[in-house]
């Protein structure tokens, strides 16, 4: 009798208590992309990483050097090293061309994000762009500038040789 009563109470409490799904009430964790570039006061973002995280499809045409991004009814076609963009078959001009950096195509953050329907905010203090769309948040952190030294290998080799010679003399 006690078991039957306990089961009845348990079943009744399950019907009365609200059924909460933890995922529906929890905010999505932000996605961090550590490869933004700050160039001439422009935030440039890696096109594929950001677009795909915002739910867009990205296609690269190697022969034509074009990138096609589609999301819902929006289609963008960008050409590498060009500031011309076809947005839903209408040509518009970017103030900064799509460019190749670190084997990825980089474009102005605000243009691409807002074209896909996202909000963009820049935090000067942290050096981070935050892109928000439909509850999803991307945090794009700027890369530290990399210094390229011409003939770095030759310089390093000469230094090694010089150090070895100094050691032999001692």
Cα distances (angstroms) measured from residue 25 to each of 21, 22, 28, 54, 169: 7, 6, 9, 20, 72
- Look at residue 9 and tell me whether its pLDDT is greater than 80: no
Return the minimum-mean-pLDDT range out of 40-54, 75-89, 134-148.
Answer: 134-148
Given strand 74-79, what is the order of strands in its sheet? 57-61, 66-71, 74-79, 84-87, 90-93
How do residues 64-79 score in pLDDT, each as one tens digit? 999 999 999 999 999 9
Question: Which CATH class, in words, describes the domain spanning 27-145?
Answer: alpha beta
How do residues 23-45 score in pLDDT, each as one tens digit? 444 457 777 777 788 888 888 88
| pLDDT on residue 18 | 47
Cα–Cα distance between 12 and 7 in angstroms, integer?
8
| pLDDT on residue 156 | 82
* Chain-centre distance for alpha carbon 28: 16
| pLDDT on residue 23 | 40
What's the whole-number average pLDDT of the chain? 80
Across 112-123, average pLDDT? 87
| pLDDT on residue 145 | 63
| pLDDT confidence band for 135 (50 / 70 / 90) | confident
| pLDDT on residue 4 | 57
| pLDDT confidence band for 132 (50 / 70 / 90) | confident
- Look at residue 14 and tell me whether its pLDDT is greater than 70: no
Cα–Cα distance between 132 and 50 in angstroms, integer?
11
Residues in the chain: 170
């Amino acid at each position: 009798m006690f078991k039957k009563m306990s089961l009845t109470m348990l079943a009744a409490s399950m019907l009365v208590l609200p059924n909460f799904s933890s995922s529906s009430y929890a905010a999505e964790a932000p996605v961090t992309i550590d490869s933004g570039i700050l160039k001439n006061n422009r935030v440039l973002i890696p096109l594929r990483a950001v677009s795909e995280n915002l739910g867009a499809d990205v296609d690269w045409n190697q022969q034509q050097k074009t990138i096609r991004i589609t999301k819902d009814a929006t289609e963008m076609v960008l050409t590498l090293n060009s500031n011309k963009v076809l947005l839903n078959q209408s040509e518009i001009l970017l103030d900064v061309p799509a460019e190749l950096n670190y084997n990825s195509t980089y474009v102005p953050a605000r243009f691409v994000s807002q074209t896909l329907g996202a909000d963009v905010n820049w935090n000067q203090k942290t050096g981070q762009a935050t892109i928000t769309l439909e509850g999803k948040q991307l945090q794009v952190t700027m890369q530290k500038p990399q210094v390229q030294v011409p003939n770095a290998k030759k310089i390093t080799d000469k230094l090694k040789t010089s150090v070895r010679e100094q050691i032999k003399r001692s």
